[in-house]
Amino acid sequence: SQTIHQWPATLVQPVGSPLSLECTVEGTSNPNLYWYRQAAGRGLQLLFYSVGIGQISSEVPQNLSASRPQDRQFILSSKKLLLSDSGFYLCASDRPVRRELFFGEGSRLTVL
């Protein structure tokens, strides 16, 4: 079965600082990968998805970007964080046959 590793698990960053969240997937090859963000007590907002190396689709225009340098690696970045970037960031990989998403344990970001 798939395993998704995300790091860091928790981080506190000042406004205007850069961000890098990493996600790696084990137990599958050529997965579709996703970044979601969840505000406190809210639903999941799709930020980016990728169907292959170097292929990124953006769902929400903002100061975040994503990259996929390797088949099972997905990175979320920002050059300058905003207060509104605070939230719970979840990386996910899918299992197409069952249309099932596997989620990592998440990265909780607080921007001060």
Partner 1 sequence: GQSLEQPSEVTAVEGAIVQINCTYQTSGFYGLSWYQQHDGGAPTFLSYNALDGLEETGRFSSFLSRSDSYGYLLLQELQMKDSASYFCAVLMDSSYKLIFGSGTRLLVRP
Binding site for partner 1 (CB under 8 A): 32, 34, 36, 42-46, 49, 51, 59, 90, 94, 98-106
Closest contact distance (angstroms) between CB of 106 and partner 1 is 5
- Helix then strand then coil, % of the chain, to nearest 5: 5, 60, 35
Residue closer to partner 1 (CB basis): 7 or 103: 103
Closest contact distance (angstroms) between CB of 14 and partner 1 is 24
CA distances (Å), origin 72, targets 32, 37, 38, 107, 110: 9, 20, 23, 18, 26
Type of residue at 64: L
Residue closer to partner 1 (CB basis): 17 or 105: 105
Phi first, then psi: what are they for 83, rounded to 5°?
-55, -35
Residue closer to partner 1 (CB basis): 51 or 112: 51
Using an 8 Å Cβ cutoff, are 89 and 76 in contact? yes
Residue closer to partner 1 (CB basis): 3 or 70: 3
